[in-house]
Amino acid sequence: MKARIKWVENVAFLGETESGHAVLMDGSVESGGRNLGPRPMEMLLLGAGGCTSFDVVLILKKSRAQITGCEAEIQAERAGEDPKVFTKIHFHFIVTGKNLKPEQVERAITLSAEKYCSASIMLGKTAAMTHDFEVVEG
State how far the Cα of 137 lies from the Cα of 95, in Å rounded to an integer.
Answer: 9
Q: What domains are there in the chain, each with its CATH number?
A: 1-38 (2.20.25.10), 40-137 (3.30.300.20)
- List the Cα angle 6/73/114 in 5-degree steps: 85
User: How does pLDDT run across 103-118, given as a tens digit for each residue?
Assistant: 999 999 999 999 999 9
Q: What is the pLDDT of residue 115?
A: 98
Q: Give the number of other CB atoms < 10 A from CB of residue 25.
A: 20
Q: What is the pLDDT of residue 10?
A: 97
User: How does pLDDT run across 23-79, given as a tens digit for each residue?
Assistant: 999 999 999 999 999 999 999 999 999 999 999 999 999 999 999 999 999 999 999
User: How does pLDDT run across 74-103, given as a tens digit for each residue?
Assistant: 999 999 999 999 999 999 999 999 999 999
- What secondary structure letter does DSSP report for 102? H
Q: What is the pLDDT of residue 16?
A: 98
Question: Please, which residues have CB within 8 angstroms of residue 128's CB and are 6 or more apart in sequence?
Answer: 87, 88, 89
Question: What's the chain's length in residues?
Answer: 138
Find out whether 39 and 27 touch, Cβ atoms under 8 Å: yes
Q: What is the pLDDT of residue 90?
A: 98
Find out whether 129 and 112 touch, Cβ atoms under 8 Å: no
Strand positions, DSSP E, the chain? 3-9, 12-17, 22-25, 66-78, 86-98, 128-137
Q: Is 5 helix (H, G, I), strand (E, B) or coil?
A: strand
Average pLDDT in the 7-35 region? Answer: 97
pTM of the model: 0.93
Residue 59: HSE in the Cβ half-sphere, 13 Å Cα cutoff: 22
